[in-house]
Chain A
Amino acid sequence: MMAEQREEKKQQYSGETFQVVSFRLGGEEYGVDISQVQEIIRMVEITHVPRAPRFMEGVINLRGQLIPIIDLRTRFGMNRADHTKSTRIIVTDIGSKRVGIVVDSVSEVLNIPVENVEDAPEMVAGIGTEYIQGVGKVDTRLIILLDLSKVITSEEKQALDSVDEAAE
């Protein structure tokens, strides 16, 4: 990856550290830019939307607002997991879109110094590198930094594709 692109990405984060909300999904630990996180809520009743793309879990009512919920496990090609006591919905704000993502559990808010962030390796546990901004090292832990806007855009594209398929 080009050095200036790295620079650009880093500037999206606050100054010299990446401030991320970290969460678990499958065996891995992920992080999303804290500025994109609106709030973290416990599992609520999700209204299933029939014939929606598979990764669309449904919609929830968050104080009068309809929020679409994406199951990241399905999106990343992992097995679905039953919701447990620690399952959370991270409500994210990307551009003008508000989307909730279901994760196994939320860990903490981490400050990762820029120098501890590496470029994404070719493949990380089956998910494409296009969603990954980099991998952060915190002690012995590796945090996969997700670019949520990419996740959402490609979700959208996929959703549209599947509708087009249905139309044919």
Chain B
Amino acid sequence: MSDEPFDKEEFVAYFRDEAEELLQQIDGDLLRLEEFVDSGQADPEIVNSLFRALHTIKGSSGMLGFTEVQGLAHKLENLCDLLRKERMPLSEGSVEILFSGRDFLTDLVQAAIGQSAPPSGLNEFTGRLDQFVAIYNETSNVIEGKAPDRSEGGNAVGSEPMNEAEIAAFEAEIERMLAEAAATAPPAPTTPTANLAAPAVESAARPAPARGNGESADAKKSAAQGKRSSLAQTIRVDIDRLDALLNLVGELVINRTRISDIATTLGRLMGDRALNASIGLIGPLSKDLADSAALLARTTNEIQESIMKVRMVPIGQVFDRFPRTVRDVAKARGKEVQLQISGADTDLDKTIVDEVGEPLMHLLRNCVDHGIEAPDERERQGKPRMGTIALNAYHEGNQIIIEISDDGGGINLDKVRAKAIKNGLIGTEDRLTDRELIELIFTPGFSTAEEVSDVSGRGVGMDVVKRNITKLKGIFDVDSAPGQGTRFTIKLPLTLAIIQALLVRVVDELYAIPLDSVIESQRVEMPDVRTVHGSEVITLRGQVVPLLRIADFFELGGERDPEKVMIVIVGLQGRQVGLVVDSFEGEQEIVIKPLSDVVGRIPGISGATILGNGSISLIIDVHSLVSDAYAGGKVTRAEFSGV
């Protein structure tokens, strides 16, 4: 391995992560910049931040030989430079060209790392960009006369004229960051053979110029560093490594339970006088073990919590890209919309953060497209022309709540009804409550948009949103008031790795049912179990609940108790189903382990867990169990829909 001089793959992975983050930041900066368009004066902080991000992308893409990315980043950097030096006024045009530039840059990065084809229309765009820059370079030269010689200081990279102590400080900062990046990478960049890394080596090796170059420069630098410090103190860790760590903690948790069990048993033995007298040592030993077990339990809990926290990332990571989406969709649909985000620093598990982005994006598009009315229409209704969408996240107990609400027209129930009748989902005579009508929008293929827009009517409907949320063990809810707006509420578990479960026995095996889907468990006498269309049902508080015998579903055999059934009522999409088991074995916190892919996917089973005594319990996937039983005719449609 040591004769491998340059592990490019690792660099590329690093570059991809870094570029993604920076492009995100550029997006945010541009959005903030746009707010200053009216004044024609850019906030220097924002322009500097943009400049810095572009510069970093330029540097690292150059290092990897991604010349196209480097070239475009350089041109955009020049444009920012004009803004920064106030040679170019901040206008809608300049912001727009920066936005397009940012999009091309994203495409180029994707193409460079081989994830997509190179974008088309790039040449036209760079032509436009060059023209743009040329105009202002000329005019500024005319206005200022021949640019005065201000070339001292950190003229570090490229051809753009660098001047002013402030910029020098910037350069120093950038050099420092590049040097850091080079240092964190494998030793490769320092080997002379590593041609690709050469620019980075160069800039890293050069003594940082202009450090402490005047007071104002220093102040600005430390301000910039203050902002950066939160980045500097974090490290990137491969999620697989965290998963491995979490797995080990899982083992620890299991063993902790086991040791506590042993300590308890020993404690009971100690109560046995005869035994205690015959082996005098058991007493103190047992007490030591109990103490030690308690300590182990506490430490393990803390480790478990810490690991869970390590996996937690702020949901803001996902939110960051929404303002841009909302802006673009609103522009495309001729609407005025502001997005208010709160709770972006609310933490949740990385795996959930990764999955929740798409559904949220879809909901936001929906709000802009269908929720918020056109500005004129809003004015007629006495609402402000600009619609508001609020995106809010917060913790509640062991869950995270994400709310998206708009002040638009609400869900038009008449349209929903008409559409549902047209699509044959309901009959013309059917009387549905408002609630049931709203539920209809989650039916596959349902869309009330009058024309299929390219924004949210792409055949992907609310049903997919709901399914994705359900997959994350989340709950999805909608409230809507005509003329006042719509609110979507999503409740998600903080983590998917460790859950509370109800253990049940079926024939010879223990199964774990995730507690979040359990509504209640109870014993029902056989005479209270009725049969409808050949399937068993019970009536629970006036509601008919179909029963599903787990032993039958899993083809386990076993004998039926002629006198009673033990039932776990689970909730699923607002319906209830009673799972019939042999006995309840208590609640427990369990660590979810996936079944090996050699086993394949088993309907009704989501994984397994190892219990305190070392035995294995399979985890029931309530969702797939019920839908499979439903599809396989084990529960009939009529019963499932609660008729």
Contact = CB atoms under 8 A, between A and B. Distances in A.
A11 to B, nearest CB: 21
* Interface size bracket, B side: 20 to 34
B479 interface: no
B244 to A, nearest CB: 12
Contacts of B596: 59, 66-68, 97-99
Given A47-B509, A50-B555, A61-B610, A159 B616 contact: no
A72 B80 CA distance: 68
B36 interface: no
A99 B597 CA distance: 10
A152 interface: yes
A119 B184 CA distance: 52
Interface string A34-61: 0000000000010111111100100111
Interface in B22-63: none
B616 A50 contact: no
Contacts of B134: none
A156 B618 contact: no
B600 interface: yes
A79 to B, nearest CB: 21
A99 B600 CA distance: 13
B611 to A, nearest CB: 9
Given A66-B608, A66-B610, A60 B602 contact: no
A70 B596 CA distance: 12
B593 A66 contact: yes
Interface string B530-559: 000000000000000000000001111000
A64 B616 CA distance: 10
A60 B601 contact: no
B614 interface: yes
A162 interface: yes
A3 interface: no
A156 B254 CA distance: 29
A125 interface: no
B625 to A, nearest CB: 11
A99 B599 CA distance: 10
B507 to A, nearest CB: 9
A156 B597 contact: yes
B501 to A, nearest CB: 16
Interface in A140-165: 152, 155-156, 159-160, 162-163
A166 interface: yes
B251 interface: yes
A68 B602 CA distance: 13
Given A66-B595, A99-B596, A52 B610 contact: no
Interface in B588-613: 593, 595-605, 608, 610
Contacts of B250: 64
B593 A51 contact: no
Nearest to A155: B598
A160 B597 CA distance: 9
A59 B614 CA distance: 12
A64 B598 contact: no
Given A66-B593, A68-B596, A52 B602 contact: yes
A152 B615 contact: no
A150 to B, nearest CB: 13
Residue from B250, B598, B599, B603 with most neighbouring chain A CB atoms (10 Å): B598
Contacts of A60: 616
Interface string A110-140: 0000000000000000000000000000000
* Chain A binding surface, main DSSP class: mixed
Contacts of A99: 596, 598
Given A59-B616, A61-B615, A64-B254, A49 B610 contact: no
A117 B601 CA distance: 39
Interface string B171-212: 000000000000000000000000000000000000000000
Given A155-B598, A156-B598, A50 B614 contact: no
A99 B604 CA distance: 22
Nearest to B631: A167
Nearest to A161: B600
Residue from B250, B251, B254, B610 with most neighbouring chain A CB atoms (10 Å): B610
Given A51-B604, A166-B603, A152 B598 contact: yes
Given A61-B614, A61-B616, A64-B254, A50 B598 contact: no
B598 A97 contact: yes
A62 B509 CA distance: 18
A59 to B, nearest CB: 6
Nearest to A99: B598
Contact of A156 (B553, B600, B608, B614): B600
A49 B605 contact: yes
A34 B509 CA distance: 35
A132 B595 CA distance: 28
Contacts of B615: 45, 47, 61
A115 B418 CA distance: 80
A47 B598 contact: no
Residue from A48, A51, A53, A163 with most neighbouring chain B CB atoms (10 Å): A51
Nearest to B252: A64
A152 B599 CA distance: 10
A163 B601 contact: yes
A68 to B, nearest CB: 4
Residue from A52, A60, A64, A97 with most neighbouring chain B CB atoms (10 Å): A64
Contacts of B618: 47, 49-50
Interface in B262-309: none
B616 A47 contact: yes
A64 B603 contact: no
A53 B600 CA distance: 8
A155 B251 CA distance: 28
Given A47-B618, A50-B555, A66-B595, A163 B600 contact: yes
A19 to B, nearest CB: 25
Contacts of B251: 64
Contacts of B616: 47, 59-61, 66
Contacts of B509: 47-48
B511 to A, nearest CB: 10
Contacts of B255: 64
A59 B605 CA distance: 13
Nearest to B250: A64
B209 to A, nearest CB: 50
Interface of B: 250-251, 254-255, 509, 553-556, 593, 595-605, 608, 610, 614-618
Given A47-B509, A50-B553, A53-B600, 20 more contacts: A47-B608, A48-B509, A49-B602, A49-B605, A50-B602, A52-B599, A56-B600, A59-B595, A61-B610, A61-B615, A64-B251, A64-B255, A66-B593, A67-B596, A99-B596, A99-B598, A152-B598, A163-B600, A163-B601, A166-B603
20 contacts: A47-B509, A47-B615, A49-B602, A51-B554, A56-B598, A56-B600, A59-B599, A60-B616, A66-B616, A67-B596, A68-B595, A70-B598, A97-B596, A97-B598, A99-B598, A155-B598, A156-B597, A159-B600, A160-B600, A166-B603
